[in-house]
Amino acid sequence: MGRVLALDVGTKTIGLAVSDPSRRMVFPLRTVARRSVAKDTAEIARVCTSQGITQLVVGLPLTLDGGEARSAHLARQVGDALAALTGLPHAYVDERFSTVEAERRLREAGAPADRRKEVIDQYAAVVILEDWIAAGGSTADG
C-alpha cells in the first residue's frame, strides 16, 4: 500500500496529514505557510521524500452546489504541480465540511482556541484523508 499525504490547501496555509503504511491510521503532520506554488510544492515534495509517500490526496473545496470556485482552482493548481514534481499519483476529495469537522473534533478534545487555530488545517487534512480512505482510496487523478 504505502503512506498517503493529504493536503488542505488554503490561501495562507496548507495543512498536511499522513497515513501509516497500511492506511489504517491518519496523523496530523504540519502546516506549511503559503509563499508561492513553486516554493510550496518544493517544500511539500521534500516532505513526500522524507515520509516515504506513495500517494497524494488533495482536498477540493467545492461550493455548496458542487461547483468549483477560486479556492478549488487553487487546490487543483497546487495538487497538479505537486504531482508533476513528485511523479506521485494524486486524487481530489470533496472537502466542503472538513474544517467544520476538524474544529468540532478539536473542541471536543478540549483544545484551547489558540491551539485550535494553529493546527486546524492539519486536522482538516486528517478529515480529508480519512474520507478518502473510507471511500476506498482510489488512485485516479482528480
Which CATH number characterizes residue 91's domain? 3.30.420.140
Flag whether 82 is in a domain: yes
- 62: which 3 cell numbers? 467545492
pLDDT band, very low/low/confident/very high, at 70 (cuts 50, 70, 90): confident
Flag whether 142 is in a domain: no
Flag whether 8 is in a domain: yes
Q: Is the pLDDT of residue 141 over 70?
A: no
Of the candidates 38, 7, 1, the residue with the CA atom closest to the CA atom of residue 125? 7
Flag whether 141 is in a domain: no
Tens-place pLDDT, residues 99-137: 878 888 888 888 878 877 888 889 999 999 999 999 888
Model-level pTM?
A: 0.90
Range of the domain at 90: 3-134
Flag whether 140 is in a domain: no
Q: Is the pLDDT of residue 46 over 60?
A: yes
d(CA 5, CA 98): 16
In sequence order, which residues have a C-beta less than 8 Å from that of residue 30 and are 6 or more positions away? 16, 47, 122
**Count of domains observed in the chain:** 1
Tens-place pLDDT, residues 31-43: 999 999 999 999 9
- CB-CB contact of 12 with 1 (8 Å): no
- CB-CB contact of 89 with 139 (8 Å): yes
